[in-house]
Amino acid sequence: MDFMPTPSEWPVPTMTQRWTGQPLLAPTALSGGSLPSRDLDLSRAFYEQVLGLDVREGSGRLVVRLGYAHCYVVEEVAAGNEMPLLSHNGVYVLGDIDEAYRSVLAAQARFGIKRVTKPALQHGSLGFFLQDRDGNWWEVNRSVDGPSENFLPDLTGGPDMSAEEVRAWFASRGDILFSEDRAGRRPTRPEGRAAAALPTTHISHGTLESRDIHASRRFYEAVLGLDVKQLTPVSLAVGLGTDHRYAVVAPPQSDPDMPHFLRNRLHFSDDAELAEAHRVVTSVSDEWHITDITGIQPRPGGRFFELRDADRNWWELYTGELAA
């Protein structure tokens, strides 16, 4: 897919409802995601010198973050494994989006950036996409100071909208997040670090694809125990424990199938909580269409297991250091 479908092209769902019961699991945070790399040294150069991320090394991998506590683990994978556009992550930048676009074009050859789309107003945000040398997609938007629910009302449980009302909802708002009084602030950089090509402030969001946002919301709240809000007529915002959010989208003909190397991570407080989580998801796997549940295995500083949800998204549930 070369672009994100516009809201007028999406199926129009009824508004989702909040689940108010006790969740089956009790993670402390939706703490991180995963990114593939062909060469960690080249990936690090891109993350630091183009995206301006904070990067640290650890046992044959990188850990990257910016602005929020949520981290991405970067691991080497075989060539040919690339991120689908609908699994993209986002960064916020200060200043003019056209200037950011020109900065990426100027860095494209040096850093092996594969593709750059032209700036446009898509799904309510002005920005553009780039695909890095590792095949990962990044959305670049103008920075706002805080998570999106600070600026958008929660539509959960509200009146349903027709296709025409959805188009009008987006058209009347332009860029649904950005305004000058909401502009983000430049983070403090480590002393001695050279300026990056982009004046980034945060890794703003990740993306989860869904077949049905009603069913997905129920799973996120009732099973995983995540915080969920419906901030647009066609998408959800999901998070836990940090200000980082995942946008949950169900575009036309959605048939999600997340590659394992893009799995997201749920942190648990201790091994006993993790063992109970494993027992619970195994016992309800048929009801919730959970598959590929692994056994609990050791990891540096803790333990983990993995599963796949009904939308074919991979999750790693783990104990140990939050940002590992």
Cβ neighbours of residue 201 closer than 8 Å, sequence gap 6 or more: 66, 67, 92, 93, 94, 143, 184, 185, 186, 187
**Residue 77 included in any domain:** yes
pLDDT at 139: 96
**Residue 25 included in any domain:** no
**Residue 323 included in any domain:** no
Give me 223's structure tokens: 């099973």
Among candidate residues 102, 124, 103, 95, the one with its CA nearest the CA of residue 183: 95
Q: What is the pTM of this model?
A: 0.91
Strands (E), 220-278: 227-232, 235-239, 245-249, 264-267
Among candidate residues 80, 5, 2, the one with its CA nearest the CA of residue 254: 5
Cβ neighbours of residue 111 closer than 8 Å, sequence gap 6 or more: 45, 46, 49, 50, 132, 133
Number of folded domains that form the chain: 1
**Residue 94 included in any domain:** yes
Q: What are phi and psi of 247, to 5 degrees?
A: -85, 130
pLDDT at 2: 44
How far is 180 from 142, CA to CA, in rounded Å?
10
**Residue 39 included in any domain:** yes
CATH number for 69: 3.10.180.10
**Residue 1 included in any domain:** no
Q: What percent of the chain has pLDDT over 70?
A: 91
Q: Tens digit of pLDDT for each residue in 66-99?
A: 988 899 999 999 877 789 998 999 999 998 999 9
Q: Tens digit of pLDDT for each residue in 275-293?
A: 999 999 999 999 999 999 9
**Residue 117 included in any domain:** yes
| Domain extent for 49 | 30-184+195-262
Q: Which long-range contacts (CB under 8 A, 24 or more apart) does 109-112 make?
A: 111/45, 111/46, 111/49, 111/50, 112/42, 112/46
